[in-house]
Amino acid sequence: QEEETLSDVQAEEVIYTLLSSDGTPSLSYSVVTLISDSNGIAEHYGNYTEVLNLSGSEKPEYTDGKIRIPVNKGKTYYQGKLNETALPWSFQITYTLDGNTISAKELAGKSGELSINIKTAKGPYENEWYYNNYMLQITVALDGDLCSNIVSDGGMIASSGSNKTIACSVLPGS
């Protein structure tokens, strides 16, 4: 017996993008929360190369941009690896070590006073609505065993195990 396809499922979506050391997007994925008042099958849409059920072992069906996934009453989560990494923002990451500009590749094995500067700007993404209406959160993880005396201009610093995490928010349109 085939389960009922639910029509009242709500969705929340967060896009995560990993940046290379210079700020170029390298991988984007979406984590979707499906919220339902009953058990059944939810249909959702996305442009993915692969889809992973984060709430159970059942493999979602994914064909021509349509995901069919079993949901239980409450929240069900899935992750989709996006086909493209186009973003409404562009990023430029620069590094200085002891006051001298240095590339990320040259940093390996070095020690000294490191400064990381991340600059954001409106990107080439065609739909400006996202840039003007969505907040951007930038998170940087540093190895707490290798980095000390960490300060951030406008960012919040937190411990995550032995790592130090710096989180900065960029308001819509800025």
Tokens of 60: 């979602």
Among residues 123, 119, 118, 120, which one has the least CA distance to residue 87?
123
Please give the backbone phi and psi of residue 166, each rounded to the nearest 5 degrees, phi first. -110, 125
Tokens of 4: 């009922």
Q: Which residues sit opposite 136 in a β-bridge?
A: 170
For 102, half-sphere exposure in the C-beta direction (CA atoms, 13 angstrom radius) is 18
pLDDT score of 140: 94
Tokens of 101: 């500009």
pLDDT score of 173: 86
How many angstroms separate the CA atoms of 15 and 130, rounded?
12
Length of the chain: 174
In whole angstroms, how far apart are CA 27 and each of 16, 56, 68, 84, 85? 8, 24, 24, 8, 6
In this prediction the pTM is: 0.82
How many angstroms separate the CA atoms of 3 and 43, rounded?
12
pLDDT score of 5: 85
Runs of H (alpha helix) within the chain: 104-107, 128-133
Residue numbers of the chain with a pLDDT score lower than 70: 1-3
pLDDT score of 1: 47
- Which residue is listed with tokens 């072992």? 57
pLDDT score of 85: 85
